[in-house]
Chain A
Amino acid sequence: MIAKQNRFLLSLPLHIFIILVALIWIFPTAGLLITSFRPASEVASSGWWTVFANPFDFTQFTLSNYKDVITNIGIGRAFVNTLIITIPACIIPIIIASFAAYAFAWMEFWGRRFFFILFVGLLVVPLQMTLIPILRIFNQLGLSGSFLGIWLAHAGYGLPLVIYLMYNFVSGLPSEIFESATIDGATTFQIFKSIVLPLSVPALASITIFQFIWVWNDLLVALVYLGGTPDVAPLTVRISALVGSYGQNWELLTAAAFVSMLLPLIIFLSLQRYFVRGILAGSIKG
């Protein structure tokens, strides 16, 4: 009993620290959430926290921001377009990167170190500088304005980080499993398919989320390679077009931010169950 109480007292600062950090982190977003339910005229004249003066006075809230966003951006089409862009733009680089990371981590070949460092170095290349030369080639290949073009582009831009993160994980796998698998006569592809990939699920889950979010929130690449007409425009392009050229109706952005955040957050939450301990530990012993 006493021990339990002691442990609780000892861990109390820990809980306080965590809750404090969480509060600091959620505070700005909470402000935005409340703001998204307030009419524009009030947003400009009083702070969002003033709603707590009479929290049950529902007349101070409005759904009009959400209504405007949903009706104005043709949300169905925009959502579908975004998914058409995002899903392959996630899967392609992750597959390519998993192959490469596996080779870098566990195979011997000429130029291995050089290429790995080169790949990491490419992290720093600003994608803005690649737009013109790539678009020029896309035009010749007939890829500009096509979904394939934008998938490949996102794959290319995301690849360095995905390889880097995958390499870090795959190279950390215990060498014993590779040795015993090789002794058992497994081919490299069999090892990749039945050992490396299954063991990498936690890493794959987190990398998928990152790549998904970047592609989901991208505006520039979509506008350059795909264009902004309603039949192809993703959510971000439609949302940024809600606000007038002088910034009129910017209050719609508050609601739009939550509309566009919804899916990435759902994916994060649903993949969280892969972020657990034990998958690796169990397999090593077995």
Chain B
Amino acid sequence: MKKHFYLFIVLVGLISLLFIPVHAEQKSVTVMGVWTGAEADAFNKMVAPFEKETGIKVEFTGTRDLPAILTTRVEAGNPPDISVMPNPGQMIEFAKDGKLVPLATFMDREKLLSDYSQAWLDLGSYDGKLYSIFISADLKSMVWYNPKAFAAAGYEVPSTWDELMQLSDKIIADGNTPWCIGVESGAASGWPGTDWIEDILLRIAPPETYDAWVNHEIPWTDEKVVEAFEIFGQIVLNEEYVYGGPKAVLTINFADSPDALFTDPPNAYLHRQATFIKSFMLEHFPDLVPGEDFDFFPFPPIKEEFGTPALGAADMLAMFNDTPEARAFMEYIASAPAQEIWVGELGKLAPNQKVDPMVYPDDITRKAAKFLGEASVFRFDGSDLMPAAVGSGAFWTGILDYISGYPLPEVLAQIEAAAVDAYGK
């Protein structure tokens, strides 16, 4: 019996040793993000100069479960010092709850104004206060194609919607399939379709309509929204227009879908997707040369008066704990040198205008950056701005239902019901 007692004492002693928190007390800043794999490596490269210069250690946790982990830790009063925001909608909710630190209290206003366009600052603000810094952006209004396949078949890059449709018909007449689309994306399936709707809506209605739609000031059953879905439907629901038909669209992973451009003969000729798809093309076909084997043209205007707006999404960071280390880190990532490392590694676009275009890995990326910088109308991915129950819920499911053949009025009524519930109006 006595022996057990001593064993017990030893155990208790050991356990109390482990009570000590595992993180050593050192000048550090905790950062959470969605970045994993190669993105996490790029992030570490970006923070290396910062750590060296300031002696502050950056404790980074990258997880794709960010929404769940962040929600839990913020609610429990244990947030990281700085975190990537899953989307601007979420940032606004945190700001509304008073969880975020306003950045104007310590960041140089003049420098921010000269480094960032007003659009980016507005997107990072809530109620007139800046809460969030964008460190990279993706352009979404792009149609990817294979220049070699185009040349071989004698196709030309279209500059209007009508030309695009004529090209599509011509491809069909030649016995081929024009488009490849894949909306499967695991737990986030459906999102590639939401980008289509947003891009189309921006081209058939003024940006104010887009904003009204995002803020649910017009219902989902509005004629413009209906029209956007119908235009998308002309392509995606048409067995001839899209490789494999709607069934394939629903089951092919978005990352695998552009593979169809590079088969011999090509299974498809056109693919609408954001800048980041380039990394997948190069992962699946390492021998491709950007600009020679694949290139993009802007998603063409549909109604002339609305031109060629740029749709984009971006990665943003916000601050939960006001520490000197966190302040220093926010200032660092807002700066051009930090973003030059980050976008140079990943081929993303930099929101900071002082970033030297030469850091981009290729001409395609430079072309995309130019398009994004010069577009007369820029709008943020609407599904990221909506309440999650719509933007990351009913909208995604609606896209999947629509592609699987559900009647449009029923699909839109479903999303509208979820929207009325989520916006509370």
Contact = CB atoms under 8 A, between A and B. Distances in A.
Contacts of B37: 241-245, 248-249
B63 interface: yes
A11 interface: no
A240 B37 CA distance: 9
Interface string B21-40: 11100000010101111111
A133 B77 CA distance: 10
Given A144-B76, A233-B61, 17 more contacts: A135-B76, A136-B75, A136-B77, A145-B23, A146-B21, A146-B22, A223-B61, A223-B65, A229-B30, A241-B40, A244-B39, A245-B37, A246-B276, A247-B253, A248-B279, A249-B37, A249-B38
Given A229-B60, A240-B36, A132 B72 contact: yes
Interface in B18-73: 18-23, 30, 32, 34-40, 59-65, 68-69, 72-73
A147 B276 CA distance: 38
A139 interface: yes
A247 B184 CA distance: 11
Contacts of B76: 131-133, 135-136, 138-139, 144
Interface string B173-190: 000000000000110000
A226 B30 CA distance: 13
Contact of A139 (B34, B69, B77): B77
A220 B68 contact: yes
Interface stretch (B159-167, B280-288, B320-328, B413-421): B280-288
A155 B362 CA distance: 53
Contacts of B118: none
B358 interface: no
B255 A247 contact: yes
Nearest to B68: A220
Q: How large, as a class, is the contact surface on chain B? A: 35 or more
Contacts of A233: 61
Contacts of B280: 246, 248
Interface centre among A227, A229, A246 (most CB of B within 10 A): A246
A40 B285 CA distance: 10
B19 A146 contact: yes
Contacts of A245: 34-37, 39, 64
A23 interface: no
Q: Find the residue from B18, B37, B185 having the highest chain A CB count within 10 A.
A: B37
Contacts of A131: 72, 76
Interface in A196-245: 219-220, 223-224, 226-229, 231-233, 237, 240-245
A228 B279 CA distance: 26
17 contacts: A41-B284, A135-B73, A135-B76, A135-B78, A144-B76, A145-B21, A219-B65, A224-B69, A224-B72, A232-B22, A244-B35, A244-B36, A244-B38, A245-B37, A246-B185, A246-B276, A247-B255
B256 interface: yes
A189 B75 CA distance: 44
B183 to A, nearest CB: 13
Given A41-B286, A244-B36, A146 B20 contact: yes
Q: Which A-B residue pairs are the 9 nearest by beta carbons?
A: A228-B61, A135-B76, A244-B37, A241-B36, A245-B34, A136-B76, A132-B75, A131-B72, A229-B59
A44 B259 CA distance: 9
B72 A242 contact: no
B113 interface: no
Contacts of A145: 21-23
B15 interface: yes
A74 interface: no
Nearest to B69: A223
Interface in A128-165: 128, 131-133, 135-136, 138-139, 142-148
A45 B64 CA distance: 26
B420 to A, nearest CB: 27
B284 A40 contact: yes
B269 to A, nearest CB: 19
B398 to A, nearest CB: 22
Given A231-B22, A240-B63, A249-B37, A139 B285 contact: no
Interface centre among B22, B65, B285 (most CB of A within 10 A): B22
A245 B33 CA distance: 10
B63 A242 contact: no
B72 A241 contact: no
A249 B23 CA distance: 30
Interface string B237-262: 00000000000000001011001000
Nearest to B75: A132
A135 B76 CA distance: 6
Contacts of B19: 142-143, 146, 148
A148 B65 contact: no
